[in-house]
Protein backbone atom coordinates (compact mmCIF):
# COMPACT_ATOMS: atom_id res chain seq x y z
CA UNK A 1 0.00 0.00 0.00
CA UNK A 2 1.37 3.41 -1.02
CA UNK A 3 -1.43 5.93 -0.69
CA UNK A 4 -4.39 6.41 1.64
CA UNK A 5 -7.13 9.03 2.00
CA UNK A 6 -8.91 10.42 5.05
CA UNK A 7 -12.28 12.17 5.30
CA UNK A 8 -14.70 13.39 7.97
CA UNK A 9 -18.44 12.96 7.40
CA UNK A 10 -21.83 13.61 9.02
CA UNK A 11 -22.07 15.83 12.10
CA UNK A 12 -18.68 17.09 13.27
CA UNK A 13 -17.37 16.02 16.66
CA UNK A 14 -14.69 17.58 18.89
CA UNK A 15 -11.60 15.40 18.50
CA UNK A 16 -11.96 14.77 14.76
CA UNK A 17 -8.93 17.02 14.17
CA UNK A 18 -6.83 15.06 16.64
CA UNK A 19 -7.90 11.91 14.79
CA UNK A 20 -7.02 13.28 11.34
CA UNK A 21 -3.64 14.37 12.72
CA UNK A 22 -3.02 10.86 14.03
CA UNK A 23 -3.92 9.31 10.66
CA UNK A 24 -1.62 11.64 8.72
CA UNK A 25 1.33 11.36 11.08
CA UNK A 26 1.06 7.57 11.50
CA UNK A 27 0.75 7.05 7.75
CA UNK A 28 3.76 9.23 6.98
CA UNK A 29 5.73 7.52 9.76
CA UNK A 30 5.09 4.23 7.92
CA UNK A 31 6.10 5.72 4.54
CA UNK A 32 2.61 6.21 3.08
CA UNK A 33 1.33 9.20 1.14
CA UNK A 34 -1.89 10.75 2.51
CA UNK A 35 -4.55 12.87 0.83
CA UNK A 36 -7.42 14.61 2.61
CA UNK A 37 -10.88 14.62 1.09
CA UNK A 38 -12.79 17.78 2.06
CA UNK A 39 -16.54 17.83 2.84
CA UNK A 40 -16.99 14.08 3.29
CA UNK A 41 -18.58 12.07 0.51
CA UNK A 42 -19.74 15.30 -1.20
CA UNK A 43 -16.10 16.35 -1.59
CA UNK A 44 -15.16 12.87 -2.79
CA UNK A 45 -17.70 13.11 -5.63
CA UNK A 46 -16.56 16.68 -6.45
CA UNK A 47 -12.86 15.72 -6.38
CA UNK A 48 -12.19 18.14 -3.50
CA UNK A 49 -8.92 16.52 -2.51
CA UNK A 50 -5.68 17.94 -1.05
CA UNK A 51 -2.28 16.52 -0.17
CA UNK A 52 -1.71 16.07 3.58
CA UNK A 53 1.97 16.53 4.42
CA UNK A 54 3.15 16.47 8.05
CA UNK A 55 2.72 20.22 8.51
CA UNK A 56 -0.91 20.16 7.25
CA UNK A 57 -2.00 18.81 10.63
CA UNK A 58 0.15 21.06 12.81
CA UNK A 59 -1.63 23.10 15.50
CA UNK A 60 -5.00 21.32 15.16
CA UNK A 61 -4.94 18.77 18.00
CA UNK A 62 -6.59 21.32 20.33
CA UNK A 63 -9.22 22.62 17.88
CA UNK A 64 -12.87 21.61 17.68
CA UNK A 65 -14.62 21.07 14.36
CA UNK A 66 -12.80 19.44 11.47
CA UNK A 67 -10.09 20.95 9.29
CA UNK A 68 -11.33 18.74 6.45
CA UNK A 69 -14.87 20.17 6.69
CA UNK A 70 -17.82 17.81 6.71
CA UNK A 71 -21.08 17.40 4.86
CA UNK A 72 -24.10 15.23 4.32
CA UNK A 73 -24.35 13.96 0.75
CA UNK A 74 -27.62 12.62 -0.68
CA UNK A 75 -26.01 11.51 -3.94
CA UNK A 76 -23.81 9.08 -2.04
CA UNK A 77 -26.93 7.19 -0.95
CA UNK A 78 -27.34 6.01 -4.56
CA UNK A 79 -25.45 3.14 -6.21
CA UNK A 80 -24.38 5.50 -8.96
CA UNK A 81 -22.93 7.96 -6.41
CA UNK A 82 -21.07 5.17 -4.59
CA UNK A 83 -19.62 3.83 -7.87
CA UNK A 84 -18.46 7.36 -8.79
CA UNK A 85 -16.86 7.67 -5.36
CA UNK A 86 -15.04 4.39 -5.87
CA UNK A 87 -13.82 5.53 -9.30
CA UNK A 88 -12.60 8.86 -7.88
CA UNK A 89 -10.52 6.99 -5.32
CA UNK A 90 -9.02 4.53 -7.80
CA UNK A 91 -8.24 7.39 -10.23
CA UNK A 92 -6.33 9.05 -7.39
CA UNK A 93 -4.41 5.83 -6.73
CA UNK A 94 -5.92 5.61 -3.24
CA UNK A 95 -5.85 2.06 -1.85
CA UNK A 96 -7.04 2.72 1.69
CA UNK A 97 -9.63 5.09 3.16
CA UNK A 98 -10.19 6.21 6.77
CA UNK A 99 -13.67 7.61 7.51
CA UNK A 100 -14.41 9.60 10.68
CA UNK A 101 -18.14 9.81 11.32
CA UNK A 102 -21.23 8.18 12.71
CA UNK A 103 -23.54 5.37 11.67
CA UNK A 104 -24.54 6.93 8.32
CA UNK A 105 -20.92 7.62 7.39
CA UNK A 106 -20.05 3.99 8.20
CA UNK A 107 -22.83 2.77 5.89
CA UNK A 108 -21.20 4.77 3.10
CA UNK A 109 -17.79 3.38 4.11
CA UNK A 110 -19.22 -0.14 3.97
CA UNK A 111 -20.30 0.48 0.36
CA UNK A 112 -16.78 1.58 -0.64
CA UNK A 113 -15.36 -1.48 1.12
CA UNK A 114 -17.75 -3.72 -0.85
CA UNK A 115 -16.65 -2.02 -4.08
CA UNK A 116 -13.00 -2.86 -3.27
CA UNK A 117 -11.44 0.07 -1.38
CA UNK A 118 -9.84 -0.95 1.92
CA UNK A 119 -11.93 1.10 4.33
CA UNK A 120 -11.80 1.66 8.09
CA UNK A 121 -14.28 3.73 10.11
CA UNK A 122 -13.48 5.71 13.26
CA UNK A 123 -16.50 6.28 15.57
CA UNK A 124 -16.95 10.04 15.89
CA UNK A 125 -20.23 11.48 17.09
CA UNK A 126 -21.27 13.47 20.13
CA UNK A 127 -24.39 11.26 20.27
CA UNK A 128 -22.26 8.28 21.45
CA UNK A 129 -24.76 5.96 19.76
CA UNK A 130 -22.24 3.77 17.93
CA UNK A 131 -22.05 0.55 19.89
CA UNK A 132 -19.55 -2.34 20.02
CA UNK A 133 -16.90 -0.01 21.50
CA UNK A 134 -16.15 1.86 24.70
CA UNK A 135 -16.85 5.39 23.48
CA UNK A 136 -17.25 7.62 20.45
CA UNK A 137 -14.99 10.61 19.77
CA UNK A 138 -16.65 13.89 20.80
CA UNK A 139 -19.05 12.58 23.45
CA UNK A 140 -16.85 13.40 26.43
CA UNK A 141 -16.38 17.00 25.26
CA UNK A 142 -20.07 17.47 24.45
CA UNK A 143 -21.08 16.28 27.92
CA UNK A 144 -18.58 18.65 29.53
CA UNK A 145 -19.98 21.52 27.44
CA UNK A 146 -23.50 20.60 28.54
CA UNK A 147 -22.46 20.47 32.20
CA UNK A 148 -20.71 23.84 31.99
CA UNK A 149 -23.98 25.29 30.67
CA UNK A 150 -26.12 23.51 33.27
CA UNK A 151 -23.89 24.81 36.09
CA UNK A 152 -24.35 28.35 34.80
CA UNK A 153 -28.10 27.94 34.45
CA UNK A 154 -28.21 26.56 38.00
CA UNK A 155 -26.76 29.85 39.30
CA UNK A 156 -29.56 31.91 37.80
CA UNK A 157 -32.17 29.24 38.56
CA UNK A 158 -31.20 29.50 42.25
CA UNK A 159 -31.26 33.30 42.28
CA UNK A 160 -34.73 33.44 40.74
CA UNK A 161 -36.09 30.23 42.32
CA UNK A 162 -37.08 28.95 38.91
CA UNK A 163 -37.58 25.66 37.16
CA UNK A 164 -35.42 25.12 34.08
CA UNK A 165 -35.91 22.66 31.25
CA UNK A 166 -32.63 22.14 29.39
CA UNK A 167 -32.82 20.37 26.05
CA UNK A 168 -29.65 18.64 24.93
CA UNK A 169 -28.65 16.96 21.66
CA UNK A 170 -28.25 13.27 20.96
CA UNK A 171 -30.55 12.69 17.97
CA UNK A 172 -32.49 9.54 18.94
CA UNK A 173 -30.16 8.61 21.81
CA UNK A 174 -30.15 9.77 25.43
CA UNK A 175 -26.45 9.38 26.27
CA UNK A 176 -25.65 13.10 26.50
CA UNK A 177 -28.81 13.76 28.53
CA UNK A 178 -28.12 10.98 31.02
CA UNK A 179 -24.45 11.84 31.59
CA UNK A 180 -25.11 15.59 31.76
CA UNK A 181 -28.19 15.06 33.94
CA UNK A 182 -26.35 12.89 36.43
CA UNK A 183 -23.22 15.06 36.54
CA UNK A 184 -25.30 18.26 36.54
CA UNK A 185 -27.51 17.12 39.42
CA UNK A 186 -30.78 17.38 37.47
CA UNK A 187 -34.08 16.66 39.24
CA UNK A 188 -35.32 14.65 36.24
CA UNK A 189 -33.63 13.27 33.14
CA UNK A 190 -35.81 12.41 30.14
CA UNK A 191 -34.31 10.08 27.54
CA UNK A 192 -35.90 8.40 24.51
CA UNK A 193 -34.92 4.93 25.73
CA UNK A 194 -37.03 5.14 28.92
CA UNK A 195 -40.77 5.91 28.69
CA UNK A 196 -41.90 8.67 31.04
CA UNK A 197 -45.06 10.50 32.04
CA UNK A 198 -45.03 14.26 32.44
CA UNK A 199 -47.42 13.87 35.41
CA UNK A 200 -44.65 11.97 37.20
CA UNK A 201 -42.11 14.70 36.37
CA UNK A 202 -44.52 17.30 37.76
CA UNK A 203 -45.24 15.24 40.89
CA UNK A 204 -41.51 14.90 41.60
CA UNK A 205 -41.01 18.65 41.13
CA UNK A 206 -43.87 19.37 43.53
CA UNK A 207 -42.48 16.96 46.14
CA UNK A 208 -39.12 18.73 45.93
CA UNK A 209 -40.64 22.18 46.33
CA UNK A 210 -42.77 20.96 49.25
CA UNK A 211 -39.53 19.84 50.93
CA UNK A 212 -38.01 23.28 50.40
CA UNK A 213 -36.21 23.03 47.03
CA UNK A 214 -35.75 26.50 45.61
CA UNK A 215 -35.07 25.57 42.01
CA UNK A 216 -35.23 22.54 39.73
CA UNK A 217 -33.48 21.41 36.58
CA UNK A 218 -34.91 18.96 34.08
CA UNK A 219 -32.61 17.69 31.35
CA UNK A 220 -34.42 16.41 28.27
CA UNK A 221 -32.79 14.66 25.32
CA UNK A 222 -33.98 16.10 22.01
CA UNK A 223 -35.16 12.60 21.08
CA UNK A 224 -37.36 12.37 24.19
CA UNK A 225 -39.47 15.44 23.63
CA UNK A 226 -39.59 19.12 22.83
CA UNK A 227 -38.11 21.26 25.60
CA UNK A 228 -40.45 24.19 24.96
CA UNK A 229 -43.57 21.99 25.11
CA UNK A 230 -42.36 20.26 28.28
CA UNK A 231 -41.63 23.66 29.86
CA UNK A 232 -45.14 24.89 29.00
CA UNK A 233 -46.70 21.74 30.45
CA UNK A 234 -44.75 22.10 33.70
CA UNK A 235 -45.64 25.77 34.09
CA UNK A 236 -49.32 25.12 33.38
CA UNK A 237 -49.51 22.19 35.81
CA UNK A 238 -47.44 23.64 38.66
CA UNK A 239 -47.59 27.40 38.31
CA UNK A 240 -43.79 27.40 38.82
CA UNK A 241 -41.86 30.10 37.00
CA UNK A 242 -40.30 27.96 34.25
CA UNK A 243 -37.70 28.72 31.57
CA UNK A 244 -36.42 26.59 28.70
CA UNK A 245 -32.90 26.51 27.27
CA UNK A 246 -32.00 24.56 24.14
CA UNK A 247 -28.24 24.03 24.16
CA UNK A 248 -28.13 23.10 20.46
CA UNK A 249 -25.00 23.21 18.38
CA UNK A 250 -22.89 24.73 21.14
CA UNK A 251 -22.49 21.07 22.19
CA UNK A 252 -20.74 20.23 18.92
CA UNK A 253 -18.01 22.86 19.18
CA UNK A 254 -15.14 23.77 21.44
CA UNK A 255 -11.70 22.41 22.22
CA UNK A 256 -11.77 18.61 22.59
CA UNK A 257 -11.28 17.24 26.11
CA UNK A 258 -8.10 15.36 26.98
CA UNK A 259 -10.06 12.09 26.86
CA UNK A 260 -11.32 12.82 23.32
CA UNK A 261 -7.84 13.80 22.12
CA UNK A 262 -6.35 10.60 23.52
CA UNK A 263 -9.15 8.43 22.07
CA UNK A 264 -8.93 10.12 18.66
CA UNK A 265 -5.14 9.83 18.57
CA UNK A 266 -5.25 6.13 19.44
CA UNK A 267 -8.06 5.29 17.03
CA UNK A 268 -6.65 7.36 14.15
CA UNK A 269 -3.26 5.65 14.44
CA UNK A 270 -4.88 2.23 14.83
CA UNK A 271 -7.03 2.80 11.74
CA UNK A 272 -3.88 3.29 9.64
CA UNK A 273 -2.28 0.16 11.08
CA UNK A 274 -5.44 -1.84 10.33
CA UNK A 275 -5.70 -0.67 6.73
CA UNK A 276 -1.98 -1.35 6.19
CA UNK A 277 -2.52 -4.88 7.53
CA UNK A 278 -5.23 -5.41 4.89
CA UNK A 279 -8.23 -5.12 7.24
CA UNK A 280 -11.28 -3.54 5.58
CA UNK A 281 -14.97 -2.99 6.32
CA UNK A 282 -14.18 -2.60 10.02
CA UNK A 283 -14.42 0.09 12.68
CA UNK A 284 -11.33 0.91 14.75
CA UNK A 285 -12.37 0.77 18.39
CA UNK A 286 -11.36 0.43 21.98
CA UNK A 287 -13.01 -2.25 24.10
CA UNK A 288 -12.20 -2.31 27.80
CA UNK A 289 -9.48 0.19 26.95
CA UNK A 290 -7.73 -2.10 24.45
CA UNK A 291 -7.44 -1.33 20.73
CA UNK A 292 -9.41 -3.65 18.48
CA UNK A 293 -11.49 -3.65 15.32
CA UNK A 294 -15.13 -4.58 14.75
CA UNK A 295 -16.74 -5.50 11.38
CA UNK A 296 -19.25 -2.86 10.23
CA UNK A 297 -22.04 -5.49 10.12
CA UNK A 298 -21.51 -6.14 13.81
CA UNK A 299 -21.41 -2.39 14.53
CA UNK A 300 -24.75 -1.94 12.72
CA UNK A 301 -26.33 -4.72 14.79
CA UNK A 302 -24.96 -3.47 18.10
CA UNK A 303 -27.18 -1.06 19.95
CA UNK A 304 -25.74 1.16 22.64
CA UNK A 305 -28.41 1.98 25.22
CA UNK A 306 -27.87 4.26 28.20
CA UNK A 307 -27.22 2.20 31.33
CA UNK A 308 -30.41 1.52 33.26
CA UNK A 309 -28.43 1.44 36.50
CA UNK A 310 -27.05 4.93 35.80
CA UNK A 311 -30.55 6.15 34.93
CA UNK A 312 -31.87 4.83 38.24
CA UNK A 313 -28.95 6.37 40.08
CA UNK A 314 -29.68 9.80 38.57
CA UNK A 315 -33.29 9.39 39.75
CA UNK A 316 -32.32 8.30 43.28
CA UNK A 317 -29.72 11.04 43.76
CA UNK A 318 -32.26 13.72 42.83
CA UNK A 319 -35.05 12.75 45.25
P1 LIG B 1 -23.48 10.36 10.68
O2 LIG B 1 -22.31 9.72 10.01
O3 LIG B 1 -23.09 11.39 11.68
O4 LIG B 1 -24.47 9.32 11.19
P5 LIG B 1 -25.33 10.90 8.47
O6 LIG B 1 -26.29 9.84 8.89
O7 LIG B 1 -25.87 12.21 8.06
O8 LIG B 1 -24.26 11.24 9.58
O9 LIG B 1 -24.48 10.28 7.29
C10 LIG B 1 -23.43 11.03 6.67
C11 LIG B 1 -23.38 10.73 5.18
O12 LIG B 1 -23.06 9.33 5.00
C13 LIG B 1 -24.70 10.91 4.43
O14 LIG B 1 -24.94 12.25 4.06
C15 LIG B 1 -24.46 10.05 3.21
O16 LIG B 1 -23.65 10.72 2.26
C17 LIG B 1 -23.66 8.88 3.80
N18 LIG B 1 -24.59 7.75 4.08
C19 LIG B 1 -25.50 7.68 5.07
N20 LIG B 1 -26.21 6.53 5.00
C21 LIG B 1 -25.74 5.87 3.92
C22 LIG B 1 -26.07 4.62 3.29
N23 LIG B 1 -27.04 3.82 3.76
N24 LIG B 1 -25.36 4.28 2.18
C25 LIG B 1 -24.40 5.07 1.70
N26 LIG B 1 -24.05 6.26 2.23
C27 LIG B 1 -24.70 6.66 3.33
O1 LIG C 1 -25.38 13.66 15.22
C2 LIG C 1 -24.90 14.79 15.85
C3 LIG C 1 -26.00 15.82 15.97
O4 LIG C 1 -25.45 16.98 16.59
C5 LIG C 1 -27.25 15.35 16.73
O6 LIG C 1 -27.07 15.35 18.13
C7 LIG C 1 -28.28 16.34 16.23
O8 LIG C 1 -29.59 15.78 16.31
C9 LIG C 1 -27.87 16.55 14.80
O10 LIG C 1 -26.49 16.19 14.70
C11 LIG C 1 -28.03 17.97 14.32
O12 LIG C 1 -27.74 18.00 12.97
P13 LIG C 1 -27.53 19.34 12.14
O14 LIG C 1 -26.11 19.78 12.37
O15 LIG C 1 -27.78 18.92 10.74
O16 LIG C 1 -28.50 20.36 12.66
How do residues 47-94 score in pLDDT, each as one tens digit? 999 999 999 999 999 999 999 999 999 999 999 999 999 999 999 999
Q: Do 131 and 11 fall within a single domain?
A: yes
Active site residues: 127
Q: Do 132 and 8 fall within a single domain?
A: yes
The residue out of 236, 253, 270 marking a domain boundary is 253
Closest ligand to 104 CA?
1
Q: Provide DSSP, the chain.
A: --EEEEEE-SS--TTHHHHHHHHHHHHHHTT-EEEEESSHHHHHHHT-EEE--GGGGTT-TT--S-TT-----GGGGSHHHHHHHHHHHHHHT--EEEEEE-HHHHHHHHHHHHHT-EEEEEEB-TT----SSS--BTHHHHHHHHHHHHHHHHHHHHHHT-EEEEEE--TT--HHHHHHHHHTT-SEEE-TTS---HHHHHHHHHHHHHTT---EEEEEEGGG--HHHHHHHHHHHH---EEEEE-GGGGG-SPPPHHHHHHHHHHHHHHHHHHHTT--SEEEEEETTEEEEEEHHHHHH------HHHHHHHHHHT-
As for ligand 1, residues whose beta carbon falls within 6 Å of it are 9-11, 41, 72-73, 76-77, 101-105, 107-108, 111, 125
**Residue 117 phi, psi dihedral angles, 5° rounding:** -90, 130
pLDDT at position 144: 98
Query: Do 152 and 44 contact (CB within 8 A), yes or no?
Result: no
User: 308 lies in a domain?
Assistant: no
pLDDT at position 319: 84
Beta-carbon neighbour count of residue 59 at 10 Å? 10
Distance CA 295, CA 284 (A): 9
pLDDT tens per residue across all 319 residues of the chain: 999 999 999 999 999 999 999 999 999 999 999 999 999 999 999 999 999 999 999 999 999 999 999 999 999 999 999 999 999 999 999 999 999 999 999 999 999 999 999 999 999 999 999 999 999 999 999 999 999 999 999 999 999 999 999 999 999 999 999 999 999 999 999 999 999 999 999 999 999 999 999 899 999 999 999 999 999 999 999 999 999 999 999 999 999 999 999 999 999 999 999 999 999 999 999 999 999 999 999 999 998 999 999 999 999 999 8
Verify whether ligand 2 is closer than 6 Å to residue 126 (CB atom).
yes
Q: Do 133 and 277 fall within a single domain?
A: yes
Please state the pTM of the whole predicted model: 0.97
- Give the residue among 205, 212, 277, 267 at the shortest CA–CA distance from 242: 205
185 is in an annotated binding site: yes
How many A from CA of 280 to the centre of ligand 2?
27
Q: 222-236 in b/e burial notation, b at 16+ Cβ within 10 A?
A: bbbbebeebbebbbe
CATH number, domain at 60? 3.40.50.450
**Residue 159 phi, psi dihedral angles, 5° rounding:** -60, -40
Q: Do 123 and 8 fall within a single domain?
A: yes
CA-proximal residue: ligand 2, atom 5 (nearest):
171
pLDDT at position 303: 83
CA-proximal residue: ligand 1, atom 25 (nearest):
108
Q: Do 76 and 150 fall within a single domain?
A: no
pLDDT at position 45: 98
Structural domain containing residue 221: 142-253
Number of structural domains, the chain? 2
Closest ligand to 146 CA?
2
Q: Do 129 and 155 fall within a single domain?
A: no
Distance of CA 132 to the CA centre of its chain: 15
CA-proximal residue: ligand 2, atom 10 (nearest):
11
pLDDT at position 154: 96
Q: Do 90 and 10 fall within a single domain?
A: yes
Q: Do 191 and 50 fall within a single domain?
A: no
User: 35 lies in a domain?
Assistant: yes
Q: Do 232 and 282 fall within a single domain?
A: no
Amino acid sequence: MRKIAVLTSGGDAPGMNAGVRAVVRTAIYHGLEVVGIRRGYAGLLDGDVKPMPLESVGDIIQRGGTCLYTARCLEFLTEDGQRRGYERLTDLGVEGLIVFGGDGSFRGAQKLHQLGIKTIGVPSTIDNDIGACDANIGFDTAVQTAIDAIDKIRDTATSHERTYVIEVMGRSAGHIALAAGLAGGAESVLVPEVPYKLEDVVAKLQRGVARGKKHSIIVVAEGAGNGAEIGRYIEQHTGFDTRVTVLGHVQRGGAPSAADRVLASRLGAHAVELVMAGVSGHMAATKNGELTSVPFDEVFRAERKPSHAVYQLADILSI
